[in-house]
Amino acid sequence: MQTHFPQELDDLEQDLMRFAQSLEHFAERLGINLAEHEADHVAVRCHQFATAERWKAGFLQMGHQFSQAIINGRPICLFKLHQPLNLAGWQVDVIELPWPGEKLYRHEGWEHVEIVLRGDPESLGKRAMALLSDEALTQPGISFKTSAPKGENERLPNPTLAVTDGQTTIKFHPWRLEEIVASEQD
């Protein structure tokens, strides 16, 4: 079943196929079979506050907002969709919408997907790197970044390993965003 996008998200609807193809191509370069992993959410990036507000209005028509937190100095909204997006064989029902920050991304639209790698947060980077082919580790243009984004009341450690080719990014973390948000309520 095709996901219905409201008018506020026309640009994102048009960009979804490009992102899906880019994601599948990038996963192939990395030697990752996406179907073998649990997709947590997909994230968008924009350059202007007006775009973020428009996208927020659109996502509120497709689902409900279950979190807004300040992460790394900017608001990030999380939405649970009524009907999941079909993306690279996954059914993804959580969208992350950060407000613009200091970094300007090359592209406004769909930017990354996060995969849940359950297990000890301390070994996340090592476990994620083990999923990549040996060739992926030495390909030019592919970079790796570790971070530990944290909301004010988060109780679960959320280390992240991001792998990018500068256009598409696949991130790994040990928890679903919904679990992290729930930990804030405990």
- Confidence band of 167 (pLDDT split at 50, 70, 90): confident
pLDDT, mean of residues 63-74: 89
Q: Which residues contact 162 (CB under 8 A, 6 or more apart)?
A: 112, 144, 145, 146, 147, 169, 170, 171
Cβ(73)–Cβ(56) under 8 Å? no
The string of pLDDT tens digits covering residues 71-129 is 878 899 999 999 999 998 899 999 999 999 877 766 799 999 999 999 998 899 999 99
Domains defined for the chain, CATH in brackets: 7-185 (3.10.180.10)
Whether 49 and 162 have beta carbons less than 8 Å apart is answered as no
Does the pLDDT of residue 1 top 80, yes or no?
no
Label residue 95 exposed, middle or buried (CB < 10 Å: 0-12, 13-18, 19+): buried
C-alpha triplet 24, 13, 108: angle, nearest 5°: 75
User: Does the pLDDT at position 151 exceed 60?
Assistant: no
Q: What percent of the chain has pLDDT over 90?
A: 65
Would you say 159 and 180 are in contact if contact means Cβ atoms under 8 Å apart? no
